[in-house]
Each structure stands twice: as structure tokens, then as C-alpha cells.
């Protein structure tokens, strides 16, 4: 079965006064029909930017500078290179108008993080829902109204026809998020991108909404990309997971293999920093240090400054996620050199790097500073080397 969404080596950079921020730097993943794909990572890992890039919603000073995004045979992002290596947007890319008329809302919908801000305060909730249905489904006002009321009922708003005429401020945060979910699903898109939709809600409501989304997903057969920093949410809702670190993909696997057969030290560290119902530990281990800034990523593997398994070779080579799956596993990719049989590097012969807990922060900082030189090309050079 072909994936409905293919993202290949997507690069989205922000051109700021301080330099180029490589928010998304070569990310690839697929979404198949009727599955929920998670994108997990710490704040600043580039999850949201990656999600917005799929819809081409990245705003100035950011822009998509490379890679490909294909959705059901349509080319959302594509670049071609001329003989000088200059990249230009390829002609098969959908125009902004086509994006607006064919993709946004109709085929791919997005649910944003902040339910309090995502509804226009001067119009009624029902009016906004109706407007979106009218635009994206080509139906008349009364038909759109019926659909809107049905959708509100569907997402669990009590007395939907009475609440239809209420303004957003008359809804609580949880109910507003339900409205936004209704809005996303109302036009029966093939793919919904949920950008941390439950982060602003408390856990009780979060649980209810996750359950509701799972039900609706089953009913409509919609695919989801679920962006979150919460491994608990991932475990609950996702079929497959992509773990992002500093604009790149660290690990990609089915949710079960990711939790029980973790193959990247970053994912390990993320899981160790969370309480887990299936494991009893003395104390939680937070990840050492802070994520370096994407403006000056460290050379080599981006996680080596905080990685407990880092070796000298990690400073030189930035691995891409490769298939490291075991014999009876679906594709499990990890971007870590410790799988040396796959990456063909001398990992075990290389000297370990000390990343002490106390020094973690400083190490991260120093490396980012030295990384500045390499950032302009060195990183990709070494990436290419690892591909051999």
C-alpha cells in the first residue's frame, strides 16, 4: 500500500538577523491511510514547523528550502537543482491557489495547540464552523448548518443546536478544542495534522479528547499526524512514531517497538525521563543538558553533546535514520552510530566522550560554538559520507 503522505528530506529554515535557524533539517517520514503517526520531541525540535511545512503554512522569515512533500499524487513541496547546485521550486509544485482550494481544509486539516486563540472571538462558534464547511464542501448555508450541528454533536458538545449560536468565550477550553476538532473533521479530510492539541488542557479533558479522537478516527478512517512532546499521549493514540531531535529524525518505529525495543539513545533518554506504568524505577532520569540551538547545531550527530553513549566518531558523522529493525519487526529506523553493523563505522573502537551531568550544559554550549564553522556545509558533507 502506498503512503498517502510522503515527506522526504524536508528542510525548513528561518532566516533571522542572527543567522539561519535550521528548524527542520532533512526530515523524512510517511503516513499511511487510517493510521495515527506521532511526531515527538522536546520544545524546539522542529515538530510544529515540520507539521506546518506540510501545509506550506510557514511564515516569514521562515521558508521551505529543500526536500519533497507528496500527498496522494499531488506535489506539495518539490525542488529542482540546476547545474550550479542552485535550488529552485519545481514546476510541478501546487500553486498557492491550488493549495488553498484543493488541499487546505479539504484534504489536510490542522488542529492548533491553543484552543483559546484558534477561534475568532467576534463570530459565533457555529457560524465559523458553518463557514468552513461552506468553503470546503461546496454546500449551501442550510445544509452546512445541519452538518455543523451534526459535527458538534459528534465531538461531544451537549445540546449542539443551542450552543451553535454561542460565542467562543462562552465555551471552556476543552469544548473549544472539541469545536476545533469538529472543524478539522467536518470537511472529511484524508489527513488531520494535530499540533499539540491537548497541551493546553488538563489531563482529564485530555484523556476524554484522545478517546474521542480515536473513535472518530476509526469512524471516518482519517489519518492523523499527532505532534506532541508527551510520550504518554503517543503510547495511547499513535500507531507509529517519529522522534525528532534538533530538526532531524532520531528514530522511527511502530509504537510498540519504540517503547519496548528502543534503538536510539535520545528516545531512551526521553522514556527514562517519564514515569512509566510498565516499569518501576528508583528515580526518573532527566535528559542531561539543554537542546543546543538550531542556529548552530553541533557537528556530527546532533545528540552527541547530551548522549550517554557518545563516542569520538559521533562528533564527526551525522547519521541519517537507517533501517535497524530486528528480524520480525516492521521497519524500525534509528539515526545512531551504535548500530555499527548498519552504519559501517568503528563505533566500538572509538573513544567514549564524557558527558557528565554537571557538565552537560557547558558541553552543549561549547560544541554549538565550535559547530558554527561546520554548520554551513560540514554537517551535510558528513551526512553524505555516512550514506555510502
Residue with cell 522511527: 252
**By the rule CB under 8 A, 167 interacts with other proteins:** yes
Nearer to other proteins, 170 or 346 (CB): 170
Which listed residue (29, 71, 164, 171) binds other proteins by CB under 8 A? 171
**By the rule CB under 8 A, 55 interacts with other proteins:** yes
How large is the angle between the packed helices 141-154 and 173-186, nearest 10 degrees? Answer: 130
Cβ proximity of 67 and 7 under 8 Å? yes
Rounded distance, CA 96 to CA 80, Å?
A: 18
**53 grid coordinates:** 511545512
Whole-angstrom CA distances from 117 to 37, 114, 176, 192, 200 are 25, 6, 9, 19, 11
**359 grid coordinates:** 557538565
**Residue ranges in 62-101 that form contacts with other proteins under rule CB under 8 A:** 100-101
**By the rule CB under 8 A, 204 interacts with other proteins:** yes
Nearer to other proteins, 151 or 301 (CB): 151
- Interacting stretch for other proteins, rule CB under 8 A, among 41-49, 171-179, 305-313, 325-333? 171-179
**By the rule CB under 8 A, 110 interacts with other proteins:** yes
- Interacting stretch for other proteins, rule CB under 8 A, among 174-182, 236-244, 267-275, 342-350? 174-182
Which listed residue (57, 139, 271, 290) binds other proteins by CB under 8 A? 57
**By the rule CB under 8 A, 185 interacts with other proteins:** no
- Interacting stretch for other proteins, rule CB under 8 A, among 55-63, 140-148, 225-233, 349-357? 55-63
Which listed residue (205, 210, 290, 342) binds other proteins by CB under 8 A? 205
**By the rule CB under 8 A, 175 interacts with other proteins:** yes
Q: Which residues contact 219 (CB under 8 A, 6 or more apart)?
A: none
Rounded distance, CA 364 to CA 297, Å?
A: 10
- Interacting stretch for other proteins, rule CB under 8 A, among 17-25, 121-129, 235-243, 318-326? 121-129
Least separation in angstroms between CB 80 and other proteins: 26
3-state secondary structure 214-275: HHHHHHHCCEEEEEECCHHHHHHHCCEEEEEECCEEEEEEEHHHHHHCCCCHHHHHHHHCCC
Residue with cell 499526524: 225
Number of residues lying near other proteins (CB under 8 A): 47
Whole-angstrom CA distances from 191 to 66, 194, 239, 388 are 22, 10, 14, 35
Sites of contact with other proteins (CB under 8 A) = 55, 57, 60, 100-101, 103-106, 109-110, 112-114, 116-123, 131-132, 135-136, 158-159, 163, 166-167, 169-175, 180, 183, 187, 200-202, 204-205, 208
Amino acid at each position: 500500500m502506498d503512503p498517502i503522505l510522503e515527506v522526504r528530506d524536508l528542510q525548513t529554515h528561518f532566516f533571522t538577523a542572527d543567522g539561519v535557524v535550521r528548524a527542520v533539517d532533512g526530515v523524512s517520514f510517511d503516513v499511511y491511510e487510517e493510521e495515527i503517526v506521532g511526531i515527538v520531541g522536546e520544545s524546539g525540535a522542529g515538530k510544529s514547523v515540520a507539521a506546518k511545512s506540510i501545509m506550506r503554512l510557514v511564515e516569514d522569515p521562515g521558508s521551505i528550502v529543500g526536500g519533497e512533500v507528496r500527498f496522494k499524487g499531488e506535489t506539495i513541496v518539490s525542488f529542482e537543482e540546476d547545474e550550479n547546485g542552485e535550488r529552485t521550486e519545481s514546476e510541478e509544485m501546487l500553486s498557492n491557489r491550488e493549495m488553498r482550494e484543493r488541499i487546505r481544509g479539504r484534504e489536510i486539516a490542522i488542529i492548533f495547540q491553543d484552543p483559546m486563540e484558534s477561534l475568532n472571538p467576534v463570530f459565533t462558534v457555529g457560524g465559523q464552523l458553518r463557514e468552513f464547511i461552506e468553503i470546503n464542501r461546496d454546500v449551501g448555508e442550510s445544509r452546512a448548518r445541519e452538518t455543523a450541528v451534526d459535527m458538534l454533536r459528534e465531538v461531544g458538545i451537549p445540546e449542539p443546536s443551542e450552543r451553535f449560536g454561542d460565542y467562543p468565550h462562552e465555551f471552556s477550553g476543552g469544548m473549544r478544542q472539541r469545536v476545533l476538532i469538529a472543524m478539522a473533521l467536518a470537511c472529511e479530510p484524508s489527513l488531520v495534522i494535530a499540533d499539540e492539541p491537548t497541551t493546553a488542557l488538563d489531563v482529564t479533558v485530555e484523556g476524554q479528547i484522545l478517546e474521542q479522537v480515536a473513535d472518530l478516527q476509526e469512524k471516518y478512517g482519517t489519518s492523523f499526524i499527532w505532534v506532541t512532546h508527551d510520550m504518554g499521549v503517543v503510547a495511547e493514540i499513535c500507531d507509529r512514531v517519529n522522534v525528532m531531535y534538533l530538526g532531524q529524525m532520531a528514530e522511527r518505529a511502530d509504537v510498540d517497538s519504540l517503547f519496548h525495543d528502543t534503538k536510539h539513545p535520545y528516545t531512551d533518554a526521553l522514556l527514562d525521563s517519564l514515569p512509566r506504568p510498565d516499569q518501576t524505577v528508583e528515580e526518573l532520569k532527566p535528559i542531561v543538558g539543554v537542546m543546543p540551538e538550531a542556529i548552530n547545531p553541533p557537528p556530527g550527530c546532533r545528540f552527541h553533546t547530551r548522549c550517554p553513549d557518545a563516542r569520538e566518531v559521533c562528533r564527526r558523522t551525522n547519521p541519517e535514520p537507517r533501517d535497524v529493525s530486528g528480524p520480525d519487526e516492521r521497519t524500525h529506523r534509528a539515526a545512531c552510530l551504535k548500530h555499527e553493523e548498519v552504519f559501517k563505522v568503528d563505533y566500538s573502537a572509538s573513544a567514549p566522550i564524557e558527558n557528565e551531568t554537571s557538565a552537560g550544559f557547558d558541553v552543549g554550549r561549547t560544541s554549538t560554538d565550535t559547530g558554527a564553522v561546520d554548520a554551513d556545509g560540514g554537517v551535510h558533507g558528513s551526512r553524505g559520507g555516512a550514506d555510502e
